[in-house]
Structure 1
Amino acid sequence: MEKILLWSFLLTSSGSQAVRSLVQRNTEFAVDFYQAICLSHKNNIVFSPLGTTLVLGMVQLGAKGKAQWQVKQTLKFQESSTGEEFSLLKSFFSAISEKKQDFTFNLANALYLQEGFTVKEQYLHGNKEFFQSVIKLVDFQDAKTCAETINTWIESKTDGKIKDMFSGEEFGPLTRLVLVNAIYFKGDWKQKFRKEDTQLMKFTERDGAAVNIPMMKALLRTKYGYFSESYMNYQVLELPYKGDEFSLIVILPAEDVNIEEMEKVITAHQILKWFSEMQEEEVEISLPRFKVEQKLDLKEALYSLNITEIFSGGCDLSGITDSSEVFISQVVQQVFFEINEDGSEATTSTGVQVPVIMSLVRNQFIANHPFLFILKNNPTESILFMGRVTNPDIQKIKGRDLDSL
């Protein structure tokens, strides 16, 4: 059997009714996929609904029959025109790419083809048109050289954050096609977290253990909401990046709420409700610095969402090639996500120095126990990244950082 490897590499640091409908469906997919990933991951999680949609979209572009139907159903694509869905995605990417004054957002897709392996021109054209994919010919028989070639591309597209991703062991004599998606986002906070205000505080991890971590602190006027759903109370906070194109949304359940129980009842409707109903208020914020580096094998999660056909020999990928022996062998997503004080800019009127005691502030958002987060594009409300923090990474804290707190 010939193989296709499907890899997605991510990291970070108002339209028409049709676009709005697409956002609704994309949010539904994000929630479904997040809940599927939670079934097999108990600690920190970060993944990109956008990246997953892209790589699955590239597969669906060449899939037929049951394989295509399963992917369309899971991505919430409408039964009719696939081209319309991809055209809307293309417009969204172009709109983001054109606005880079206050942030860095790079999106790149590539197809690595085995030399001599025949891929249909229409499929290559579709990838260039809808996903702006570059096409590169390689020899997977020379696994080491292939790994170095793809690693160099990934490193260049992710500002050097992801290096040596492939060892060559992922490739074999039957590998015919590797689809790669890279997303890089870096934004400055609109309102500043001052490094001198960061303090060591207790964080209660998922297993109940308490650890000391650097907790960023600020008194800000920003969008905030207190919600009660399914007998659960939780707070939602929005931290916009400079330029207001992107925001980090932090969802903090009450201390007596089990985060796994909360995850089970989250819906796309709720998420869009948070986006629309939060109001600007003054909030005392305590948020951990955190970094999540994760390599997720998405095959199990996709199976649970009924995407199974593409992984079986004999699946219909005739839109890609006439070969009847190709199938998807892996779907892996690599993510680097970091939140800290760095790079934040604000005037003195938007960021307020944190006094030692802020007991008069009505709203306190103290993320000293597990929480969820979403990185979204504000004009479209599309979710780029989604995840949870159950135990902030304290292994990489330098001694001098601890000494300064």
Structure 2
Amino acid sequence: MESTATTNPLACGGLTALSLRLLGELAETGASTNLVFSPLSIYAALALTAAGARGVTLQEFLAVLGARSRDELAEIIRGFTEQILADRPLTGGPHVSFACGLWHDEARKLKPAFCDAAAHSYKAETRAVDFREKPGEAVNLINAWVAAATNNLIDSILADGQVSDQTDIIVVNAVYFKGMWAGPFNKEYTEDDKFHRLDGSTFDVPFMQSCKRQYIACHEGFKVLRLQYKDGHRRCSPPSPFSMCVFLPDARDGLSGLISRIVTSSSSDFIREHLPTSLVTVGEFGLPRFKLTFSSDMSSVLQRLGLQVAFDLKEADLCDMVEDDGTGMPLALERIIHKAVIEVNEDGTESAAATISRMKGMAAPNKNAPVPVDFVADHPFVFFLIEEESGAILFAGTVLEPSPSVPGEKLLRGGSDCSVDDDVDIGPVQCQLTSENANRSLLASLRHCLRCLFG
């Protein structure tokens, strides 16, 4: 039987809807900064909290998450953890680590049924700490747990002062992903070039380059690049179901318009509908290396999305989470804390969020050959790291200012990245180019390939 994540349309429908709403809110709030977050991790943390909610509080959780009941949420998360979050490092596939934890003050005893649901459906840890008398110790415990869950890529998520004697419950989510490209980039071709900021200024960043065929689709106003991750130790291993998808606006200042188009689309499957499905011949190609870190208390964002009662001490109903201690003390959610790190380079992607070609000689240009397609991400873009079989979005974000080159770094030249794989058919080019642009793209491709072959 297929897992829930594949068979239940609500599973990824609710996740996708939340992903895009979060993208819209976070991109607008931080319109001048880089962004990376894990919608899947946030979704799971909210679902875990919903397992202890009742009444209006529960209904708000279900509305935000796009589910009909707590049981359905638990089934969805089980599908995610069994299929999408399955770790594959021993087979050469992506290393995926997902951790969700709930910390509660020791004065509040969790109900056994809630603890059982947290452990079995959400693979979550629940721990009692002394928020009131030892808040600093609680911070250290949570940070150590997060560091262990993310292979130390994230060494802390809480700062001093973010926990007080009024804290009852803190939900923390952490995701780690490390995947190697199915078709890695040759580091010897990486070279600095100009990246254009939204304000029109430029600065030098290292661009990964290639003249291999790529999965690129051209649409009105934007292009999409799809980079697959490997799923095996052998060179002939098929790609994994994970891929990095870069949505690049045609206009250098077109990021906000593209995000608005993605977020407000009448289609709930906008991202998957616009992914490239065919390999195309590449003209000029450049993708910057980047490393992004994002940390935020998501509470205000989630309240704007409709999750309000859970944060209200007078109205929140989380009685299925804690035992009645007879004091009548109210319980409400105080924080949803999220931190994500992602690094994209020539080898692949590491986040706390393709073809292996043979070298052949370059033949004379064929006038009937497909028109090369340019993809140069030299201005702000939006990206998604997705699991293609389900459509689940593990990471999403925007790159407004990629990491610059390390001062004094020497980039070598030469190599043989320009090989052609005759076992893969070149699909039709999915955009129209004027003859002038086509000639310019062809010349750029020829120059790049000559450099690949002869250094």
- 1:3-402 correspondence runs (5 A): 18-42=7-31, 43-77=33-67, 79=68, 81-95=69-83, 96-97=85-86, 99-100=88-89, 101=91, 102-140=93-131, 141-228=133-220, 233-243=221-231, 244-255=240-251, 258-266=254-262, 267=265, 268-275=268-275, 278-284=277-283, 285-314=285-314, 315-321=316-322, 322=324, 324-342=329-347, 347-349=356-358, 362-394=372-404, 397-401=405-409
Q: How far 1:324 sits from its partner (Å)?
A: 4.6
Report the Cα distance in structure 2 between the residues aligned to 1:55 and 1:61, rounded to whole angstroms: 10
Q: For residue 327 of structure 1, what is the amino acid of its counterpart?
A: A
Report the Cα distance in structure 1 between the residues aligned to 2:298 and 2:411, rounded to whole angstroms: 40
Q: How far 1:99 sits from its partner (Å)?
A: 3.6
Residue deviations 1:298-329 (CA, integer Å, cap 9, x gap): 22321221211111112111111235511122
Q: For residue 320 of structure 2, what is the amino acid of its counterpart?
A: G
Report the Cα distance in structure 1 between the residues aligned to 2:45 and 2:113, rounded to whole angstroms: 17
Report the Cα distance in structure 2 between the residues aligned to 1:220 and 1:401, rounded to whole angstroms: 25
CA contact (8 A) 2:60 2:309 kept: yes
Report the Cα distance in structure 1 between the residues aligned to 2:286 and 2:395, rounded to whole angstroms: 21
Residue deviations 1:253-291 (CA, integer Å, cap 9, x gap): 10266211221121333212123x532223343100111
Task: Report the aligned-residue RMSD.
Answer: 2.6
> Cα–Cα, structure 1 residues 366 and 350, in superposed 2: closer, same or farther, change >3 Å?
farther
Corresponding residue for residue 234 of structure 2: none
CA contact (8 A) 1:74 1:306 kept: yes
Q: How far 1:29 sits from its partner (Å)?
A: 1.7
TM-score, L = length of structure 1: 0.86
SS for the counterpart of 2:184 is: coil
Q: How far 1:113 sits from its partner (Å)?
A: 2.8
Report the Cα distance in structure 2 between the residues aligned to 1:219 and 1:361, rounded to whole angstroms: 13
Q: How far 1:118 sits from its partner (Å)?
A: 1.5
Between 1 and 2, higher relative CO (CA 8 Å, sep ≥ 6) is seen in 1
Q: For residue 378 of structure 1, what is the amino acid of its counterpart?
A: E
Report the Cα distance in structure 2 between the residues aligned to 1:22 and 1:121, rounded to whole angstroms: 26
Q: Which runs of 5+ in 2 are unaligned?
A: 232-239, 363-368, 414-455
CA contact (8 A) 1:144 1:167 kept: no
Q: How far 1:115 sits from its partner (Å)?
A: 2.2
CA contact (8 A) 1:219 1:351 kept: no
Greater shift in the superposed pair: 50-59 or 22-31:
22-31
TM-score, L = length of structure 2: 0.77
CA contact (8 A) 1:219 1:352 kept: no
> Cα–Cα, structure 1 residues 179 and 331, in superposed 2: closer, same or farther, change >3 Å?
closer
Corresponding residue for residue 236 of structure 2: none
CA contact (8 A) 2:41 2:98 kept: no
Q: Which runs of 5+ in 1 are unaligned?
A: 1-13, 354-358
Q: How far 1:366 sits from its partner (Å)?
A: 0.3
CA contact (8 A) 2:40 2:394 kept: yes
CA contact (8 A) 1:192 1:351 kept: no
Q: How far 1:349 sits from its partner (Å)?
A: 2.4
Residue deviations 1:214-255 (CA, integer Å, cap 9, x gap): 111112323221112xxxx11011000112221000000102
Report the Cα distance in structure 2 between the residues aligned to 1:104 and 1:41, rounded to whole angstroms: 30
SS for the counterpart of 1:180 is: strand
CA contact (8 A) 1:220 1:352 kept: no
SS for the counterpart of 1:220 is: coil
> Cα–Cα, structure 1 residues 98 and 154, in superposed 2: closer, same or farther, change >3 Å?
closer
Report the Cα distance in structure 2 between the residues aligned to 1:83 and 1:360, rounded to whole angstroms: 51
Q: For residue 172 of structure 1, what is the amino acid of its counterpart?
A: S
Greater shift in the superposed pair: 195-204 or 359-368:
359-368
Query: Which structure features the higher share of strand residues?
Result: 1
Q: For residue 178 of structure 1, what is the amino acid of its counterpart?
A: I
CA contact (8 A) 2:167 2:334 kept: no
Greater shift in the superposed pair: 91-100 or 339-348:
339-348
Larger Rg belongs to: 2
Q: How far 1:70 sits from its partner (Å)?
A: 1.5
Corresponding residue for residue 11 of structure 1: none
> Cα–Cα, structure 1 residues 21 and 144, in superposed 2: closer, same or farther, change >3 Å?
closer
Q: How many residue pairs end up in the alignment? A: 378
Report the Cα distance in structure 1 between the residues aligned to 2:400 and 2:127, rounded to whole angstroms: 40
Q: How far 1:19 sits from its partner (Å)?
A: 2.6
> Cα–Cα, structure 1 residues 115 and 21, in superposed 2: closer, same or farther, change >3 Å?
closer
